[in-house]
Amino acid sequence: MITKLKNLFLFSMMLITVGSWASSSGLNPTDEELKSAAKRIFQNETGGKKENLVVWNVGEEFPSLGIGHFIWFPKGVKAPFTEGFPLLVKAYLANGYKASDLPRIMTATPHAPWNSRDEFNALKAAGNKDIAELIEFLYSHQEVQVRFIMERLEASLEKMMAASDRPDHVREQFYRVAQSPNGFYPLIDYVNFKGEGVNPSERYKGQGWGLLQVLESMKGTKTGKAALKDFSTAAAKVLNQRIANSPVERGEDRWREGWMNRVRTYA
């Protein structure tokens, strides 16, 4: 009971902090929108299953952790994606957590401590203490993870405008969605899901798949349901383009159904 009350207090404090953040950035999600976005991100990334907070997906060179499935590269691994988990660890330390408050595995090494998916899965199946402790921590301390994703969204607009040949269009489309009822969720989920789209290494055949590319693909001007539908349609287009451009050996077509189901929730 005490743990539940503590977690409720932490989440409430997170919402107060987020309210200040949202106002300063020009975004004004309601408390209900924030709670809904957090729950939906957890559902989207883990299927609502606690044990899926720490996984290593088929065909990937790295594990994914937390409600946002932040990726963590093993030593020596290079991939054309933005590594998020080490930044999340820094976010915990910057938000009042001490190194001793975190599971040992989070601070023992800057790299994921597993060398392969097979090794990771064998340890997880055997009930490895470090993995079990990490899952429990990430489940019980979600407030920093949500704040971390929101701060990424706050910083994304300036980065996207700087990287675009049409910065005014990007800003207009961003706020079309942001100022629509329930429009906060699509933005915060997609930037967590596929990034800002400004990293030059996150390209297949020269084409990116992040939030920037979605906003650039949008064409309408109305807010409300029309904006959310436009965003959903543009996201589907960008993701289908990524799959078409992806290396055959990655087998990204297997993700198409799940990705399309996800972006349909934006509308």
The answer to whether residues 172 and 258 belong to one domain is: yes
Tell me the per-residue pLDDT of 97-119, one tens digit each, with 9 for 90 and over.
Answer: 999 999 999 999 899 999 999 99
Domain hosting 240: range is 150-264
The 3-state secondary structure of 73-130, one letter per residue = CECCCCCCCCCCHHHHHHHHHHCCCCHHHCCHHHHHCCCECCCCHHHHHHHHHCCCHH
Q: Which tokens belong to 65?
A: 């952790």
Residue 195 contacts residue 163 (beta carbons within 8 Å)? no
Of 31 and 253, the structure prediction assigns the larger pLDDT to 253
Q: In the listed set 143, 177, 202, which residue is the last one of a domain according to the structure?
A: 143
Residue 135 sits in the same domain as residue 25: yes
Chain segment 199-243, per-residue pLDDT in tens? 999 999 999 999 999 999 999 999 999 999 999 999 999 999 999
Distances (CA, A) of 213 to 33, 151, 157, 170: 24, 20, 12, 9
Task: Work out how many domains the chain is built from and give that number.
Answer: 2
pLDDT value at residue 170:
97
Q: What is the pTM of this model?
A: 0.74
Q: At what angle do helices 2-25 and 143-163 cross, to 10 degrees?
A: 20
Confidence class of residue 81 from pLDDT cuts 50, 70 and 90?
Answer: confident
Q: Mind listing the pLDDT tens digit for each residue in 43-65?
A: 989 999 999 999 999 889 999 99
Same domain, 55 and 179: no
Distance CA 265, CA 124 (A): 31
Can you say how many angstroms the Cα of residue 95 is from the centroid of all Cα atoms in its chain? 19
Shared domain for 124 and 68, answered yes or no, is yes
Whether residue 12 is predicted with pLDDT greater than 80 in this model: the reply is: no
**191 and 132 share a domain?**
no
Instruction: Give the lowest-confidence range in 17-31, 44-58, 128-142, 158-172.
Output: 17-31
